[in-house]
Amino acid sequence: MDAHEGIADAAIRLVQELKHNPNIIPPYDATLMRQCIDTLNRLYDQNARSLMDPTGDPSISPEQITTQREQRTAAIIYIWRCTTAYIHERACRIRSLRWRFGGILPISIRNNLSEAEIEFFNSYSSALADFQSSLGESGVNLMANTEPPKHLFVQVRVKEDYGEFETNDGNVVILNKNSLHSLPRQDCEMLIRRGILEIANP
């Protein structure tokens, strides 16, 4: 190991990675994570060994050994906190993705997640769906009307070609780029979130 490199550098880099990209989910950094885990294991082994064998190195006084052990424990706790913060923050962002994109993730975002994270996303989605359907008689869509609407209809401008779109009452609308539509708010809210529609000036 490089002399100038601190023992917790990899862990700090993990946290920084998220901090520097506040609005997106960067790719899951498996190499750094692996490094952190390796460091944790190494430190733990060293601590364990020094406890097992109290008279290991005669050149070092027992007080020094105790201090070393405490230092290592502090480092273990520090790295552990960094890695959990990394995982927790990513989990929070993944949860917010569910509200932004609905149950299906765009492929570009999906590629950035680890397998465990995708599993977490799916279980979160199904938990949310279970919860929504358990409310009331026919379920409540918590995604709809996150702000109190003033009108049932909203005027939207199409930003990219989408093609056919069927509203709840069975009307089919073609959403072609650069056209202006007046649609029921609840139907098109999801498309607005995905950036296909944009609310035109009222």
As a whole number of angstroms, the distance between CA 155 and CA 191 comes to 13
Residues that bind other proteins in the complex, under the rule CB under 8 A: 151-153, 155, 157, 167, 171-174, 176, 178-184, 200-201
Provide, rounded to whole angstroms, the least separation between the CB of residue 185 and other proteins: 11
Which one, 72 or 181, has the nearer CB to other proteins?
181
Closer to other proteins at the Cβ: 138 or 178? 178
Do 130 and 171 touch, CB atoms closer than 8 A?
A: no
Nearer to other proteins, 25 or 158 (CB): 158
Q: How far is the CB of 183 from other proteins (least distance, A)?
A: 6
- CB-CB contact of 193 with 101 (8 Å): yes
Q: Which of 53, 54, 4, 13 is nearest to 31 (CA)?
A: 13
CB-CB contact of 175 with 156 (8 Å): no
Closer CB to other proteins, 14 or 188, in the complex: 188
Q: Nearest distance from residue 188's CB to other proteins, in Å?
A: 11
Q: How far is the CB of 147 from other proteins (least distance, A)?
A: 19
**In 3D, which of 194, 193, 196 has the Cα closest to residue 179?**
196
Of 84 and 167, which CB lies nearer to other proteins in the complex structure?
167
**Whole-number Å distance between alpha carbons of 104 and 165:** 17
State the helix-helix crossing angle for 115-134 and 62-101, rounded to 10 degrees: 50
Per-residue DSSP letter, 111: T
* In the complex, least distance from residue 194 CB atom to other proteins, rounded to whole angstroms: 19
